[in-house]
Structure 1
Amino acid sequence: LLEARLAFIRRLLAESPLVEGYWAPQMGANFSKSYAEVRNSMVGALLWPISVPCAAQYLDAVQLTLEGIDDARRMVKKNKDMVIVESADEMEQAHTDGKLAILFGLEGGHTLGSSLAVLRSMYSLGTRFVSLTGLGCTTPWASASIRTDFFDENLPSTLTNFGEVVVQEMNRLGMLVEISRLSEPAMMVALNVAKAPLLLSNALPASMACNGSTAAVPDHILSALSQNGGVLMLNVERCGEKAMSLKDAIAAINYIRAIAGVDHVGLSGSPKNYPLLLAELARDRLWGSAAIKKLVGGNIVRVLREVEVSKNRLPLSEDWIPLEAIEGNAYCRYPET
């Protein structure tokens, strides 16, 4: 019976791409190992956030981000089975062509240097999503869900006015706004001001009580995400500091479905376990072909497409943002004359 269900899942994944919501590969000589793992797990597309240390904020975070993008793009070009995509249509076409689609993004608003011009430039370089904060990395305009050694008491406890402008500008550009590492108040502000669906990637429902989890999402945020049209890509690998069992992963998927709906849940965190997880899920009559296709990638592809539509609906912002408007500014900048 298990083999029959696995064969069923293989047929579905031949028709629809399985999208991994958070891929952080080993770089350099170990890249091939990370690549082989996702290829063997039937993954068809990867959301790959470029990450730089939070300690680089106010220093050379933007330069490190550019170098990270360059490094990642070169890695992709060395692998003929991988292709960089910048839209939902390109992601689906890559799957049709038998390629592994790569959608680049940025992990943490500190990668932008509190600059809308940098944000727009990152879009021009092909990045299509931005996590507003990295792990514990509060910026001058967005508060993270946890505090780290880099936390400054003068930094905000929510999403500031400039943070709202960042969300709006991303909507205008057609970039996906990722909010899983934001504080709860900042999440609500983002959900209220967004004009396009949002993403929570590599997150968990708070009801699972995962000690040490950095992206635990309460029920009212799940409900608001449903109203927003967004998607939560569930971390099915770890519950805080512990590995997540297959039973717990399925329970979490069903919990999010019950609160937010089948149109608002996806997968992240554990490519090697996806085939078996999906085969077990298929034992439940609630998870037929249509529902599983939404879970594995249909929902995030829909969200990407709706975000792209917002670009055509909203005019680009050319408003001047004075430096003083960036609360808590601590950057070293060349003085204007």
Structure 2
Amino acid sequence: MRLVVAALLVSLPLSLAHAQATDAARRLAHDAIVVDTHIDAPSELIDHWYDLGEATPSREFDYPRAREGGLDVAFMSIYTSAEEDDAGTAWQSAHTQIDAVEALVQRHPDRFALLRSPRDLARLQKGGKVLLALGMENGAPIGDDLKQLAAFHARGVRYITLAHGRNNRISDSATDTAPRWHGLSPFGREVVKEMNRLGIMVDVSHLSEDAIRQAVEASSVPVIASHSALRHFTPDFQRNISDANVKAIAAKGGVVQVPFGSIFIDAGAAQTYSTYLREREAFRMAQQAAIAAGKTATGTEPQMPTLQPTALAAVLDNIDRVVKLAGIDHVGIGSDFDGVSGHLAAELHSVADYPVLVAGLQQRGYSDGDIRKILGGNLLRVWTAAERAATP
């Protein structure tokens, strides 16, 4: 997810987060395989080039802090918007972002490597590298051409979020004003089938309830929710996942990757964000209507209000509930770093702070073995299953 807002987030000092990470938590974070399935760096690199191989304090992901936090695999989010889909530029945008990730690796071959298969993880990690995998947020770049799935797979894309903020050719979105397909489109079912064939994980984050259920049913392998929290804690926020669909994802062997963004994990923040989305959509529709009527579009686009910081406990509560509903084998992390404009749990400022999460999990009684599953083991299991079932 990429949230562009004008407001500043009230936050706690960075030093506080580090003070809460115990030595035991740091050791486990560095010894475990940490896989974060959603970091929005690529679109940021297009807007403004940052050398993320060096310390980049204005961003939430860079190499020095990734190493500090124990991050091993960072899924770079290749995000395209509904507006880019409408304009026919999503395909170009996606390839340009992949180019940017490749350029980052080429600039720092001693610090980064591209990860295309979990089989290569141990080999590529040598020398302290952070491994960059690719996840495509929004299926818009494939247009209506199934062959584009193979093309993006060849470039390294290993999961695709079927839709984003609005309905598309593939699927209904959780946050559009009304359903278009009442789940997946007929083309969307073909997309899921082809993704299964290629070994691309099906990502159901951002999808409507019906679309999530249908994607799970249509897939022959486990699916993921790359960055989704639970609607149990945010009852009116459709973007989050219902208990029923958490169970459905788990029953198929999949995993729910819990994000750190306040809008996902805090009921007040989610309500504020939902109101902002409705107001922004109403503004967009009014602008379009004015233009269609030959009038000059007027008005000021709504801006996201300031959010108060959310505590780490909200992230832990979501993890606890997924475990309660589905079991320890079906939960992971998908932070949304660099995607929610700093609107994060107060103790989780950047990729340096996974040890803080580990400390919180330890305090709640999770064993080291279970924490290893949450940090990355569960996601690697699903990725491996998708790869093994592929028949390219």
What TM-score does the superposition give when structure 1 sets the normalisation length? 0.84
1:198 to 206, 223, 230: 223
Query: Is 1:304 the counterpart of 2:383 in the alignment?
Result: yes
1:178 CA drift (Å): 0.6
The aligned amino acid for 2:160 is V
* Secondary structure of 1:20 counterpart: strand
Instruction: Give CA-to-partner distance per residue, 1:27-85, whole Å, 9 cap, x none.
Output: 24434323144333221111112112321215122122112211221122212311101
1:5 CA drift (Å): 7.0
Partner of 1:47: 75
| Equivalent residue runs for 1:57-136 within 5 Å | 57-58=85-86, 59-79=88-108, 80-134=110-164, 136=165
Q: Given that residues 108 and 137 in structure 1 are in contact (C-alpha distance below 8 angstroms), is that contact kept between their aligned partners in structure 2?
A: no
Query: Is 1:273 the counterpart of 2:341 in the alignment?
Result: no
The aligned amino acid for 2:120 is E
Query: Is 1:226 the counterpart of 2:250 in the alignment?
Result: yes
Q: Given that residues 231 and 238 in structure 2 are in contact (C-alpha distance below 8 angstroms), is that contact kept between their aligned partners in structure 1?
A: no
* Secondary structure of 2:211 counterpart: helix
Q: Given that residues 136 and 160 in structure 2 are in contact (C-alpha distance below 8 angstroms), is that contact kept between their aligned partners in structure 1?
A: yes
1:259 CA drift (Å): 0.4
Partner of 2:292: none
Following the alignment from structure 1 to structure 2, what is the Cα–Cα distance between the partners of residues 68 and 76? 13
| Equivalent residue runs for 1:169-180 within 5 Å | 169-180=194-205
Query: Is 1:7 the counterpart of 2:23 in the alignment?
Result: yes
Q: Given that residues 162 and 170 in structure 2 are in contact (C-alpha distance below 8 angstroms), is that contact kept between their aligned partners in structure 1?
A: no
Q: Given that residues 16 and 95 in structure 1 are in contact (C-alpha distance below 8 angstroms), is that contact kept between their aligned partners in structure 2?
A: no
Aligned sequence identity (%): 23
* Secondary structure of 1:130 counterpart: strand
Following the alignment from structure 2 to structure 1, what is the Cα–Cα distance between the partners of residues 246 and 149? 27
Following the alignment from structure 1 to structure 2, what is the Cα–Cα distance between the partners of residues 4 and 184? 37
What TM-score does the superposition give when structure 2 sets the normalisation length? 0.73
1:186 CA drift (Å): 0.6
The aligned amino acid for 2:358 is L
CA gap of 1:50–1:146, structure 2 versus 1, over 3 A, is same
Q: Given that residues 85 and 103 in structure 1 are in contact (C-alpha distance below 8 angstroms), is that contact kept between their aligned partners in structure 2?
A: yes
1:197 CA drift (Å): 0.9
Partner of 2:188: 163
Partner of 2:319: 253
Following the alignment from structure 2 to structure 1, what is the Cα–Cα distance between the partners of residues 362 and 123? 26
CA gap of 1:31–1:237, structure 2 versus 1, over 3 A, is farther
**Number of aligned positions between the proteins:** 305
2:234 to 209, 220, 236: 209
Q: Larger relative contact order (C-alpha < 8 A, sep ≥ 6)?
A: 2
Following the alignment from structure 1 to structure 2, what is the Cα–Cα distance between the partners of residues 3 and 244? 18
The aligned amino acid for 2:318 is A
Following the alignment from structure 2 to structure 1, what is the Cα–Cα distance between the partners of residues 84 and 385? 33
Following the alignment from structure 2 to structure 1, what is the Cα–Cα distance between the partners of residues 26 and 125? 14
Q: Given that residues 233 and 266 in structure 1 are in contact (C-alpha distance below 8 angstroms), is that contact kept between their aligned partners in structure 2?
A: yes
Partner of 2:33: 17
What CA RMSD, in Å, does the superposition of the two structures yield over aligned residues?
A: 2.2
Following the alignment from structure 1 to structure 2, what is the Cα–Cα distance between the partners of residues 221 and 53? 25
For structure 1, which runs of at least 5 residues remain unmatched after alignment?
Answer: 317-337
The more displaced of 70-79 and 31-40 is 31-40
CA gap of 1:18–1:84, structure 2 versus 1, over 3 A, is same
CA gap of 1:23–1:5, structure 2 versus 1, over 3 A, is closer
1:220 CA drift (Å): 0.5
Q: Given that residues 257 and 265 in structure 1 are in contact (C-alpha distance below 8 angstroms), is that contact kept between their aligned partners in structure 2?
A: yes
The aligned amino acid for 1:84 is L
Partner of 1:330: none
CA gap of 1:214–1:201, structure 2 versus 1, over 3 A, is farther
Following the alignment from structure 2 to structure 1, what is the Cα–Cα distance between the partners of residues 26 and 356? 11
Following the alignment from structure 2 to structure 1, what is the Cα–Cα distance between the partners of residues 141 and 49? 25
1:210 CA drift (Å): 6.6
The more displaced of 56-65 and 171-180 is 56-65
Instruction: Give CA-to-partner distance per residue, 1:101-147, whole Å, 9 cap, x none.
Output: 1111211011111211111111111111111012x131123111012
The aligned amino acid for 1:166 is V
1:284 CA drift (Å): 3.0
Following the alignment from structure 2 to structure 1, what is the Cα–Cα distance between the partners of residues 208 and 235? 17
Partner of 1:235: 259
Following the alignment from structure 1 to structure 2, what is the Cα–Cα distance between the partners of residues 143 and 4? 41
For structure 2, which runs of at least 5 residues remain unmatched after alignment?
Answer: 1-17, 274-306, 336-347
CA gap of 1:262–1:95, structure 2 versus 1, over 3 A, is farther
